[in-house]
Amino acid sequence: MANAVHIVVCAGIVPDPLQTLEPITGPNGPGLKNEMVLPAVLDPWAASALYEAASLAAKNPGSKVWLVSLGPKAKLQQVMMTVAQKVHFDLVPIDGPIGGFPDAHSTAAALAGAINAIPGLDKAKLLLFGGWESATRGAGVTLQLTGELLSITDQFQGVDQIDLRDDGSFEVLERVEGGKHQVSVCAGTPAVLGWATGNLAEPRNNPQVGMVNMRTIMPALQKAKPATLAANGLRYVSVGLPKQQRTTRVVKDLTPDQIAAELVEWIGAE
């Protein structure tokens, strides 16, 4: 039981990436056209974190996994019907807006508040998982801010692997440039891990796991607390689709510095 950990996975829901997403500016700010009718999925980055969390918990008896997700209850229910069949977890839903435009600070505050309210959570054993990036509330800082609000200072980003040791410490592989990994050793929990793709494939659907999970997911959705995400001064001037542009040059024998200089010049001209 020395290695038993409490793993909280922060995972948002996003429109299915196979759909055509058209940004628009509405009365409440920027958003996606027909966003509420688009089919949704669990954020792909955070999904990797969830599968790694479930695998880690299964290897360490006494461990437990919670999934904290912010989104409209109807959308959360739709997504959980599929996700619940993958791995065991307890859902902590937050009834709030979907999309990639809410401020990261207010999103992190809502997530941290929900985590603090989880009954039976031992913060001394806490591993906070999430996506290194995101298909929605990425901003590159949401998970980091959530960890800081929980007073967790040991943070790792771009994680592909974690190995727990018998003494409670753990080794982490973080992605660095050149296709290499940085190896770090942390004395113990709590810690924040922003996952890249990890090493695990997506688990197969298991209806028996789904039935067990849905017994707690449906009551949790009914009790989901609403969250209003304040703009905190954030303002978007406009939103639009990226321009499609392709200019190809074949040049040999350029140094990395020369290539970087050309890229900077090209970006600055936009």
Q: List, in sequence order, every residue forming a beta bridge with 25; answer none if it has no partner.
A: 30
Is 264 within the bounds of a domain?
no
Is the pTM higher than 0.85? The answer reads no
**CATH number for the domain that contains residue 48:** 3.40.50.620
Range of the domain at 142: 6-226
Is 84 within the bounds of a domain?
yes
Is 113 within the bounds of a domain?
yes
Is 209 within the bounds of a domain?
yes
The total of structural domains in the chain comes to 1
pLDDT digits (tens, 9 = 90+) for 136-186: 655 668 889 999 999 999 999 889 999 998 888 999 999 888 788 899 999
SS3 23: strand
For residue 135, give both structure tokens: 């298909």
Query: In the prediction, which pLDDT does 242 show?
Result: 65
d(CA 206, CA 216): 16
pLDDT digits (tens, 9 = 90+) for 41-97: 888 888 999 999 999 999 988 999 999 998 888 888 888 988 999 999 999 999 887
